[in-house]
Amino acid sequence: PGGVSGLLLVFGGASAAAVVLVGKVGDRRPTAALVLSAVAVAVSLVALVVRGATPAVDLALAAAWGLASGAVGPLVQTAIMRTAGERLRAAAGTAIPVAFNLGIAVGAAGGSGVVDRLGLDTLPVFAGLVALGATVALLARAGLTARVGRPTAGGRSGRGGRPLRAVEQVPE
């Protein structure tokens, strides 16, 4: 297959490979894997500015973007479910698709506004900057969790000596 269908096939294959890869290594260092995947999404989005240079470049871009974005979903879902704990697991499970669909809607609206006002060529940079901003927020959250959310040897959080609540625990 060629053209758009070929690019979609490469993107989908790379996304599927990412799910398999995350399933094998994501449990060892889930926060690091999520941050790495988020950075890879940002980089692959910005790299789309060179789309159309050659068919080989387009295939490589589709593969990189698919690999990066395919890993994010399972990693985010796993982090949400682990953070929710047993007590909030059902609520978290129902909130995940709502949050993903809201993200798609907001992204589509924002993207169409960018294309309408600034043109299609600016969209990859804008999308990459949004992904980079999300990565920075993720890093800030991971750093905050590492500082105040990890139990100490005494089983306390170190924040006033009180036990951790389930929503404060982030796996890693």
**Contact present, 149 and 157 (Cβ < 8 Å):** yes
Rounded Cα distance, 5 and 17, in Å = 18
154: phi then psi, degrees, rounded to nearest 5: -80, 5
DSSP annotation of 165 reads P
pTM, full prediction? 0.72
- Tens digit of pLDDT for each residue in 38-96? 999 999 998 988 887 788 898 999 999 999 999 999 998 988 898 888 999 999 999 99
Contact criterion met (CB below 8 Å) for 105 and 125: no
Amino acid in position 13: G
Alpha helix locations (H) across 48-122?
A: 55-118
